Amino acid sequence: GDSVTQMEGPVTLSEEAFLTINCTYTATGYPSLFWYVQYPGEGLQLLLKATKADDKGSNKGFEATYRKETTSFHLEKGSVQVSDSAVYFCALSGPSNTGNQFYFGTGTSLTVIP
Amino acid sequence: DVKVTQSSRYLVKRTGEKVFLECVQDMDHENMFWYRQDPGLGLRLIYFSYDVKMKEKGDIPEGYSVSREKKERFSLILESASTNQTSMYLCASRLSGPREGYTFGSGTRLTVV
DSSP conformation letters of B4-42: EEES-SEEEE-TT--EEE-EEESS--SEEEEEEEETTTE
Q: For residues A112 and A13, is the Cβ–Cβ distance under 8 A?
A: yes
Closest-CA residue of A relative to B3 is A45
Interface probe for B, chosen from A28, A46, A100, A108 (most Cβ of B below 10 Å), is A100
Q: What mean pLDDT comes out for the span A57-80?
A: 96
In DSSP terms, A86 is beta-bridged to A110
Query: Which pLDDT does position B42 carry in this prediction?
Result: 87
pLDDT of residue B106 exceeding 60, the answer is: yes
pLDDT band at B98; cut points 50, 70, 90: confident
Interface probe for A, chosen from B93, B104, B108 (most Cβ of A below 10 Å), is B104
pLDDT tens profile B1-50: 669 999 899 999 999 999 999 999 998 999 999 999 998 888 999 999 99
pLDDT of residue A98 exceeding 60, the answer is: no
pLDDT tens profile A9-60: 899 999 999 999 999 999 877 889 999 999 988 899 999 999 999 999 999 9
The Cα–Cα gap between A56 and A64 comes to: 6
In this structure, of B52-56, B66-70, B93-97, the range with the lowest mean pLDDT score is B93-97
pLDDT of residue A100 exceeding 70, the answer is: no
When CB atoms are compared, the residue of A32, A104, A106 closest to B98 is A32
A92 versus A1: the higher-pLDDT residue is A92
Query: Which pLDDT does position B2 carry in this prediction?
Result: 64
Q: For residues B26 and B3, is the Cβ–Cβ distance under 8 A?
A: yes
Q: How many residues does chain A have?
A: 114
Query: Which pLDDT does position B65 carry in this prediction?
Result: 97
Q: For residues A4 and A75, is the Cβ–Cβ distance under 8 A?
A: no
Report the gap between the CA of B79 and the closest CA in chain A (Å). 24
Residue A10 preceded by cis peptide, ω within 30: yes
A10 versus A96: the higher-pLDDT residue is A10
Q: For residues B66 and B37, is the Cβ–Cβ distance under 8 A?
A: no
The set of residues, in sequence order, having a beta carbon less than 8 Å from that of A81 and lying 6+ positions away, is A15, A16, A112
Single-letter code of the amino acid located at B31:
N
A99 versus B81: the higher-pLDDT residue is B81
End-to-end CA distance of chain A: 41
The Cα–Cα gap between A35 and A75 comes to: 8
When CB atoms are compared, the residue of A41, A46, A105 closest to B101 is A46
Query: Which pLDDT does position A2 carry in this prediction?
Result: 82
Q: How many residues does chain B have?
A: 113
